[in-house]
Amino acid sequence: MLHTLIYTPKTALMLSSVWLGRGIVLAFMVLIGYSIAKSINAGSPLGLILAVVSLCASLYCFHLFRKAQEEQV
């Protein structure tokens, strides 16, 4: 499939932007997971609440991005 593409700088940049976006999302989720684990370890209910709210907000944001992409097509 990829061998039929003409490799130009624009094509390479478009393919790398997908991986870059996924990497940023993965790193963000890892940081949220780390903050949840640290708040549980420290016994901080406020930290746990804030980390869970951050997780819910990011998941809702990703849901809205997907919904906006579907409406554009």
Q: What is the pLDDT of residues 40-69, one digit of tens each?
A: 999 999 999 999 999 999 999 999 999 998
Arithmetic mean of pLDDT over the chain: 86
- Distance in angstroms (rounded) separating the CA atoms of residues 66 and 52: 21
Q: Record the pTM.
A: 0.71
Number of residues assigned to the chain: 73
For position 2, what pLDDT does the model report? Answer: 55
pLDDT digits (tens, 9 = 90+) for 5-30: 566 666 666 667 778 888 999 999 99
Helix (H, G, I), strand (E, B) or coil at 17: helix
